Structure 1
Amino acid sequence: MDILPHYFKDQGELLDIIDGLRSQGLNSYISLPQLVVCGDQSAGKSSVLEGISGVAFPTKDNLCTRFATEVVLRRDAENRVHVTILPDGDRTDEEKEELRSFKAPTSSLEDLPGLLEMAKDRMGLNRDGKAFSKDILRIEPSGPDQPHLTLVDLPGLIHAESKQQSTQDVDLVASLVRDYIANPRSIVLAVVSAKNDYAVQIVTRFTREVDPRGLRTLGIITKPDTLHFGSDSEAAYLSLARNEDVQFRLGWHVLRNRDFDTRHLSRGERDEAERKFFSSGVWQTLPLHSLGVESLRPRLSTVLKEQIISELPALIRDIESGLVDARDRLDHLGDSRRTTHEQRLYLIRISEAFSSLLSSANNGTYGRDFFGDARTEIGFKKRLRAVIQDLLLEFAQTMQMN
């Protein structure tokens, strides 16, 4: 397994292979390694993504939390973003074609809110009262400051129905999140907000259900600046960050993201404000590798790379097994009939074979395999002349008796 990384030029190439498999819909058939971001509504997931990527994801009207969002970050010489839609497998062929035709390349990240609104409309979220979609929005920001990283952001878990969110919406989001985090090859990034007791946040229960031993979960604590200095809540979250309370193999990470008052800070200013916050108070007692977005970016890149490399041999076996199964099913279907001429010839052959079979039955020549053994009930019933003769005898006997 140690030699596997040497087959790839860099981590970006390794991630591109997995992303290519996912974009072809292979994740509907086999589990693919991925980082999955989940948390309760208003836990700060969008701010986490913004901190990692530097892209200001709109949070108005829950725009980015109405569907799964695949964020593909790649380092490149130029800043640009590409937005596409990966249709849900249950969509009709016509709907899939319409959604796949949505391609919105742009060189400006400032265009992202408008592009997301267009994508939401294409998914049908602006009509028929539909609040959530199982389609996947794929956002590909690239630039010189981007890490090589791919994450899947999921809609926030809903505590209770409201005027804007029905019981069906609550269940749909819960089902969507469970499906993603239940994937044994997924690394779960469980985002919890320090504004609320972590024990009552839905995401903690969901992660325990799918990963009871905490082997593939990394916890992320947001909004630590809302905790009062010296309070029991601060002490509880400090213990959590030290991996003393809820223990994960990958540990915990603490982020201080922009709030309403600091929403206009640049990426550099945001990172500097975060560094200043963690340099004082109880948070300075934590190791630097578990604080701030600057250490989170390489940490996530390493986690994802190691997960892909460890799962790659089993993934290759799954793909090879799937290919064998697909080829067997294709062989069972017979030769392809793509043109109208080929389809007509196929139907003519069926018609001729059926006509020949009827002729054999009518003539009483039962040499074909179709007729089987006359000593069996099924074989006897396929001998047309014998069946007709029996029916005539039965009819004659009935007429004589009546």
Structure 2
Amino acid sequence: MPQANGHANGHANGHVNGHVDGNAAPLPADLIDPRQVKLHDALHRLRKLEAAKDIDIPQLIVVGNQNSGKSSVLEALVGFEFPVDNGACTRFPTHYSLRRGEASTTAFIKPGPGRNEVEKACLEELSRSIRNPTSFHDLMRAVNAGLGKKVGMERTGDTGKGFCDDVLMIERRGPDLPQLSLVDLPGLFTASSGHQTDEDQETVQEMAETYVRNKGSMVMVIASAQEDIHCSSGIGLIQKLVRKDASLNERTIYVITKPDMAQSFASLKSVVDQFRFPRPAHFLRNQDSGRDRPRSLASRDAEEEKFFGSGEWVGVPQAQKGIAALRTALKEMLWGHTKNQLRRLIPAVQDMTEEAQRGYKRLEEAGRPDRRKFLVDVAQDFDRLIGNAVIGNYVNREFFSSFDDTSLEVRYKRLRSTARALNKRFATAVQEHGKTVVIGRPRPSGRPHGSAPPPAFLAAEIDRLYSYPEPESKCWADYETWVAGMVDDWRTGEPRGQASSMAYWALFEYQSRGWKRMAENHLKAVWMVIDRFIDLALAEVCPDDGVAEALRRRVMDTHVDKLRLAASTTLESLLSCHGRGNSGFYDSLDDPHTSRSRAQALISKIAELPSLDGGGSPRNAPAL
């Protein structure tokens, strides 16, 4: 039986200028009744409000196994090709907000709840690079590559990428697009492989459960008739969760894909009937990458109609087969679910409106001079706290606490001591792992004398940012042989027997190639501490959480971003000087054992020399 994975080989890039391609079907407009357009626009504006971030707006969640044909269903549903490469799987949720209007597309990354401040900054940088994409496929490739490079989705020694709960937010407008908000989740799977671990399986499962549990969401479960439907993880997920929330049945719709790939019509019908879905399942015929491509989506609908209009499928009710029937069912489901959710949304919005009005009234009653004085006091207190933290003057007991207080927050507040601890950790990392090749003995076990352990509250982050593989170890003879060979390869115009300065430079560059990554990671750790300190200091000097949040977002973040950029630029300048032909080697990077051995040898030689007064060797040669 031929394979149909629902994705296209050579899938033509879906242009993201907002226009539906000429091959798109005009039917997606049927997804929402005209009466709903204003309501959905209002809900969309509500979603963008910072004050309404905790309100769950109705949206369609798409779940199913990998290669179940999810993307093929979605592109048939909304009328444009989805950005999926053949053989690849979605590794993060993608939220599509489709609206009618002038053609445009914007995209950004919404960080997952587990991201720290450093990773959020990296994701913001990635978001700026993809803000106005020119192609859906280029966008997905850029996000996959960016997440792996910037926030560590890629595994060491593995060509695959891990899964994450960061959300790719895509807002697309076009004159013919349906009004719809949907979330395409990574495909579920049960068996681990080289690129998908048991931990990945748990991550994807928990992610799907979180989205499905949200009572503000509708769920579309995709299952492939090409596989045993009893093994559908999506159906199993709903069956598990519905035991605790019976209302899930009312907001779930089931779609069976690839019916032409089933063993037989009778066997497929028998299996589907056994499940007794709360609402009738829908059957869709997917485009096959090898057989149907590069046909248009309109042709796809015609081929599907022809398939369901022949053979035993004639007896299946029209409301259960084909993309047109699915659109109709979804429209009714969306409208009914939205009306039900309004009963919950309206009181919540009214409460927020009343709270905002009370806050505005308090500000008006305070008067302009009092507000200015309040902000001046906040600024002065903040300046005083940050000045003391930078120089290490911890006399403010209320903020920096007592000597024996080692709580997490207090350690963040003592900015200078924490930064110095990070500096020691960085120095240790460079000392132990800063050379590509070390000569002679292996590094002794245990923490080097005088090095500082990572701060306890940063242990996990330090382990990630300051942990590196052990350098390669060569004996003196092997190292000399290797360097001698490389010197010959790097000869220029120097006399015979004299090493080229380029050889010195190349060896230095080779030995220090890990410095850039180490320095960048150190800078990330320092900025993480600074970001946390700013939050704590603002909370200390500003009793109004709303004002503190506004100050952070509108004032502090702008200046911090400039400082962050300046620090990165300075680091780049510092690192670039090592690539300008400087062939010097720094004694400060000698490990303590080597330095001590050299000093002891020198002292031994001095001890063997006759004393200046003619009395023989010095009586007390110093020892190390």
- TM score, norm. by length of structure 1: 0.71
* Equivalent of residue 315 in structure 2, options 259, 281, 285: 285
Tell me, yes or no, if the aligned pair for 1:68 and 1:154 is still in contact at 8 Å. yes
Instruction: State the partner residue of 2:199.
Output: 168
Deviations 1:144-200 (A, max 9, x none): 443222211111111121111112211110110000001122211111111122222
Q: Is 1:180 paired with 2:211?
A: yes
Deviates more, 1:52-61 or 1:254-263: 52-61
Mapped to 2, the partners of 1:125 and 1:217 lie a distance apart of 37
Q: Residue type matched to 2:227 in 1?
A: N
Instruction: State the partner residue of 2:465.
Output: none
Q: Residue type matched to 1:105 in 2?
A: N
Name structure 1 gaps, 5 residues minimum: 1-7, 356-402
1:321 to partner: Cα distance: 4.5
1:341 to partner: Cα distance: 6.3
Instruction: State the partner residue of 1:113.
Output: 137
Deviations 1:76-109 (A, max 9, x none): 465x543332222333252453355354435x6x
Q: 1:136 to 1:26 in 2, by over 3 A?
A: farther
Q: 1:58 to 1:134 in 2, by over 3 A?
A: same
* Equivalent of residue 81 in structure 2, options 46, 56, 78: 56
* Equivalent of residue 94 in structure 1, options 104, 108, 121: 121
Instruction: State the partner residue of 1:215.
Output: 250
Deviates more, 1:168-177 or 1:314-323: 314-323
* Equivalent of residue 254 in structure 1, options 267, 280, 283: 283
Tell me, yes or no, if the aligned pair for 1:227 and 1:233 is still in contact at 8 Å. yes
Q: 1:320 to 1:223 in 2, by over 3 A?
A: same
* Equivalent of residue 148 in structure 2, options 107, 117, 124: 124
Answer 1 or 2: higher relative contact order, Cα 8 Å, separation at least 6. 1
1:220 to partner: Cα distance: 0.5
Deviations 1:263-296 (A, max 9, x none): 2110111110010011012222222222211232
Equivalence map 1:130-209=2 (5 Å)? 130-209=161-240
Mapped to 1, the partners of 2:123 and 2:346 lie a distance apart of 27
Overall identity of the aligned pairs, in % = 31
Equivalence map 1:327-346=2 (5 Å)? 342-344=378-380
- TM score, norm. by length of structure 2: 0.48
State the number of aligned residues: 333
Q: Is 1:69 paired with 2:94?
A: yes
Q: Is 1:36 paired with 2:61?
A: yes
- 3-state SS, counterpart of residue 67 of structure 1: coil
Tell me, yes or no, if the aligned pair for 1:252 and 1:290 is still in contact at 8 Å. yes
Mapped to 1, the partners of 2:342 and 2:48 lie a distance apart of 18
* Equivalent of residue 341 in structure 2, options 303, 311, 316: 311
Tell me, yes or no, if the aligned pair for 2:109 and 2:123 is still in contact at 8 Å. no
Larger Rg: 2
Mapped to 2, the partners of 1:246 and 1:328 lie a distance apart of 52
- 3-state SS, counterpart of residue 66 of structure 2: coil
Identify the structure with the greater strand proportion: 1
- 3-state SS, counterpart of residue 60 of structure 1: coil
Mapped to 1, the partners of 2:349 and 2:259 lie a distance apart of 43
Q: 1:322 to 1:163 in 2, by over 3 A?
A: farther
Tell me, yes or no, if the aligned pair for 2:61 and 2:183 is still in contact at 8 Å. yes
1:298 to partner: Cα distance: 3.6
Q: Residue type matched to 2:125 in 1?
A: E
- 3-state SS, counterpart of residue 214 of structure 2: coil
Deviations 1:34-71 (A, max 9, x none): 21110111111111111112322233266561111112
Q: Residue type matched to 1:268 in 2?
A: A
Deviates more, 1:212-221 or 1:258-267: 212-221
- 3-state SS, counterpart of residue 294 of structure 1: helix
Tell me, yes or no, if the aligned pair for 2:99 and 2:178 is still in contact at 8 Å. yes
Aligned-residue CA RMSD in angstroms? 3.6
Tell me, yes or no, if the aligned pair for 1:125 and 1:132 is still in contact at 8 Å. no
1:24 to partner: Cα distance: 4.8
Q: Is 1:224 paired with 2:276?
A: no
Mapped to 2, the partners of 1:102 and 1:183 lie a distance apart of 31
Q: 1:31 to 1:73 in 2, by over 3 A?
A: closer
Q: Residue type matched to 1:215 in 2?
A: E
